[in-house]
Structure 1
Amino acid sequence: MKIKLGIITPETHMDYFRAIEEEMRPLCQFRFLTISSFRETTDLYLQNLDSVDGFVISGRMLYESIDKDCLDEKVPIHILQDNENLLYRELFRLLVTKPGLDISRVYVDYAYVIDSFREFQQYLTPEGKPVDSGDLFKQAEIMLDNHITLWENKKIDLSITAFGHFVPELQKHGVRYILIRPTLEDVKETISEIINEITILKLKNQRAVVACLSVHNGQPSSAEQLQELKALVGRFLHSVKIADTAQISDGYVRLYTTYGHFMRITANAHNCTLLEYLEGFISGKVKIGWGTGHEYFQANVNATKAHRQAEAYAGSCSFFINEEQKVIGPLRSMNVIQFSEQGDPDILALAKKIGINNINLQRIMSYAEMMRTNKLSSEDVAECLSMTTRGANRILNKIEESNYVQTVFEKRDNTKGRPKKYYELLFLDKEGRKISK
């Protein structure tokens, strides 16, 4: 199936895309979404989000005009970058071919949005309203008004713009202008890059994923409980419009799906909506292990491993293991702990020196990095390892005995009372990142 690209661009850039449309036809299909104002961009993006595989947007400011809360990270966006060199080249050409041109009577809107060009502003027209408004739409309106007002008041001889949607208004008011545009080569390169990215994503999204599910009530699930669980999984899949491929196997309910569907169900491996759904109907602890692989056999093995991680966790939870044996979980928030079943050689060596489990050490390190600190309390460690505070203290004492930690007492968040005891992990920096040797 061909890749579908949404091209968000002013009409003035259409000739470029038309010029390469035939050449790109074997690889992709263009959907042209022309704008006449920055204010239209968000609506165009949302209206076409579900019908294209990616977007190409002609210009950084056009991209910035999209409401960032609306962006879907699963749909790639590539931007035709505003190339400063094109502006410099055009100014140089003007100075060479028109030696009599008074550069101070040229209005360049581009100069007010490119930081590296600010030093040249003193040589351009000092007239015009300031354009440093924090409101992007207001900025654009001011720049267009400057073009027209300065021209009509005979304070400029030429306008240079990087915004194609200004052109109709400039023509309407008879403004002499030059439009700076990306080269055809830039357009081709941008199109090729997004096609490659989408192709890789499509292949990745078709990888096999298996979910291994169970309910813990202090004893193995009965046949009736497994049938109930399977039925609930089927109802959830129907609600999110995914085919029901759940089966009962070896005392579990196993769901066979794809990586793309897994990412939908887990909000990109952050929050498992299937788990949330099941918790609304089941009184016991729900355990879900997700595994991926190039084939369903490998995905099934990893799902079983991930389920073991879920079983070791105190409450209902969902864990994921990928082909590289990287473990992610519990999938209950936007901040999840990540570690590897195989382990980094340096971390394995450190765990052996301290005398603690390698995975527990990885979890502590991941939690510290997530919290952006190398100072953890025994409660922090208990939370990330899903154990009692007493168990966490035993692990922290082992680390302290190996001289890899020092205790500090601090008060945080303006709390009242005595300072709290924290363990400063000496193998992590102040942001909780592993210190390289």
Structure 2
Amino acid sequence: MPTKIAVICSKAFMNRLTSIAHEVPHIQLDFYIYNSYEETSSLMKQVKPCDVLLLAGTLPYLYAKHLLRQWPIPWTYLKQDETTISTTLLTAISKRTVTINRLSIDVMNPAFIHNVLHDIQYEDAVPFIQQIDLTTPTEQLLKNHIALWQAQQIDLVITSIHAIHDELTTLGIPVMRMLDPKSSIIRRLDEAKSLSQLTKSESAKAVAGLIELHETHDNTITTIEQLAATIHASYQLVNASRYELFTTYGHLQKALDQNQLESFFTNSKQPVKLVFGYGESILEAQKNAQQALHYASPNAISILNENKELQGPFPKVTTTLSLQTKDPYVVHMAKETKLSPLNISKIMAFSKARQSLQFTAHDLSEYLQVTRRTTERILKKLVEHDYAKIVGEEMTYQQGRPRGLYELNFSTYL
């Protein structure tokens, strides 16, 4: 089956894309044409079922950005960059016989033009640059171009906006569109196709879940049935206090994204643990779910993926912790300190979550959800091997000895 790509673009870009698309096999294009970029948001609401969305430019992307946060399928957009500027300038110079300093160009990011001119060691006067953004009306950009032409300061306008191109053409002012290189368009089509294939592959990934209860109640089965229906799962009783679920990554991820699982804990009359394991097979997913159960928090969701990364507990936090590592530095650190990769991953996450470099054993104990004694043993090992250092003391207004201030002495940005 071909990958169906919904394309939001101008009529001119549709014609260009249609002439190129045959070079990317197994795709089908479904066009939604705007007369102005402001129509992008309304066109997105008209998009019919497809595999991936392609926006033909940075400006359409900016108009659609607020909708893309919740867009249910993969999307990408054709970015304006230095390659676009280089191709357009070369075409203008070779085909229109104009000089760079006699051009008026509207562009998303003026730095792109300056970068290209710097790279080609251009040292003469720069072209007239009109910056495009959502706060500048198209009419104002058009007036700027017309004023420069009437003042005989330019010989050609290069525009990124098709409405400006059409208006200047009507007025008889020399104008050309910004040219997206053929190679850039093909790369974007390939990317759109790959995004769709990756998403479909991920969505079909096996997921096994475990529900662990202390005791059952009259509404237990009803609550579990509602959960299973939400994530399109089948379920079975494992023993008196445990149920097993089977679904796919796509169904579970959709429920998590839309916060549809919180009601499960609300409807349950007792603390309950809910975990999921991902895998390339049901057997792998089951093993990961069983391992995730060891780290689960009551009334929260924990997930162990196929890379042995522990995610959650949702919905409270969305931290990702590694239960294993192949990084030589972390492996060496784990062996030297006798700390598990999980504890090291938690400490790194703790560091990233803090605004202050210094912390107390109490701070770390609260984050790790372990006893003060356990935390002090961890810190002692880190200090002994120079992975942490004591940098001072925190004076409290309560009785007792001052609390030591620690600072980590290794990279936590891995």
**Structure 1 length as normaliser, TM-score?**
0.79
Other-structure match for 2:160 = 162
CA distance 1:331–1:394, change in 2 (3 Å): same
Residue identity (%): 23
User: Counterparts of 1:393 and 1:228 in 2: how far apart (Å)?
Assistant: 43
Render the CA deviation track for 1:340-397: whole Å, top value 9, x for unaligned: 2467554344334334444323322232234366543323322332223343233323
User: Counterparts of 2:113 and 2:253 in 1: how far apart (Å)?
Assistant: 42
SS in 1 for 2:247: strand
C-alpha contact 2:208 2:276 (8 A) present in aligned 1: yes
Other-structure match for 1:433 = 413
1:62 partner amino acid: P
User: Counterparts of 1:43 and 1:416 in 2: how far apart (Å)?
Assistant: 60
Taking the TM superposition and a 5 Å limit, the aligned residue runs for 1:41-60 are 41-48=40-47, 51-60=49-58
2:347 partner amino acid: I
* Residue 12 of structure 1 pairs with residue 2 of structure 2: no
User: Counterparts of 1:246 and 1:425 in 2: how far apart (Å)?
Assistant: 45
Other-structure match for 1:179 = 177
CA distance 1:178–1:351, change in 2 (3 Å): closer
Farther off after superposition, 36-45 or 372-381: 372-381
C-alpha contact 1:55 1:76 (8 A) present in aligned 2: yes
Deviation of the 1:244 alpha carbon:
4.2
User: Counterparts of 2:154 and 2:331 in 1: how far apart (Å)?
Assistant: 69
Farther off after superposition, 115-124 or 203-212: 115-124
Deviation of the 1:46 alpha carbon:
4.5
User: Counterparts of 1:54 and 1:338 in 2: how far apart (Å)?
Assistant: 31
* Residue 113 of structure 1 pairs with residue 109 of structure 2: yes
Taking the TM superposition and a 5 Å limit, the aligned residue runs for 1:29-428 are 29-48=28-47, 51-68=49-66, 70-72=68-70, 75-82=73-80, 83-94=84-95, 98=97, 101=98, 104-110=101-107, 113-118=109-114, 123=125, 131=130, 135-138=133-136, 140-151=138-149, 156-216=154-214, 221-222=215-216, 225=217, 228-238=219-229, 240=230, 242-250=231-239, 251-267=241-257, 273-274=260-261, 276-310=262-296, 313=297, 315-333=298-316, 335-341=318-324, 344=327, 346-371=329-354, 375-409=358-392, 421-426=404-409, 428=410
Deviation of the 1:243 alpha carbon:
2.6
CA distance 1:43–1:117, change in 2 (3 Å): same
User: Counterparts of 1:114 and 1:90 in 2: how far apart (Å)?
Assistant: 19
User: Counterparts of 2:397 and 2:154 in 1: how far apart (Å)?
Assistant: 65
User: Counterparts of 1:301 and 1:103 in 2: how far apart (Å)?
Assistant: 64
Q: Which runs of 5+ in 2 are unaligned?
A: none
C-alpha contact 1:46 1:70 (8 A) present in aligned 2: no
Render the CA deviation track for 1:383-419: whole Å, top value 9, x for unaligned: 33222334323332343344432123488xxx999x9
C-alpha contact 2:309 2:320 (8 A) present in aligned 1: no
C-alpha contact 1:6 1:30 (8 A) present in aligned 2: yes
SS in 1 for 2:370: coil
C-alpha contact 1:289 1:305 (8 A) present in aligned 2: no
User: Counterparts of 1:213 and 1:246 in 2: how far apart (Å)?
Assistant: 10
Render the CA deviation track for 1:219-240: whole Å, top value 9, x for unaligned: xx34xx4x744422332454x5
Deviation of the 1:280 alpha carbon:
1.0
SS in 2 for 1:33: strand
C-alpha contact 1:302 1:322 (8 A) present in aligned 2: yes
Q: How many residues align?
A: 401
User: Counterparts of 2:337 and 2:326 in 1: how far apart (Å)?
Assistant: 15
Render the CA deviation track for 1:136-168: whole Å, top value 9, x for unaligned: 241644322323444456654421213234323
CA distance 1:205–1:125, change in 2 (3 Å): closer
Deviation of the 1:256 alpha carbon:
0.8
User: Counterparts of 2:259 and 2:319 in 1: how far apart (Å)?
Assistant: 11
C-alpha contact 1:289 1:308 (8 A) present in aligned 2: no
C-alpha contact 1:41 1:66 (8 A) present in aligned 2: yes
2:91 partner amino acid: E
Q: CA RMSD in A?
A: 3.5
User: Counterparts of 1:355 and 1:266 in 2: how far apart (Å)?
Assistant: 35
Render the CA deviation track for 1:167-198: whole Å, top value 9, x for unaligned: 23223333321122224443233212210221
1:84 partner amino acid: I
CA distance 1:408–1:21, change in 2 (3 Å): same
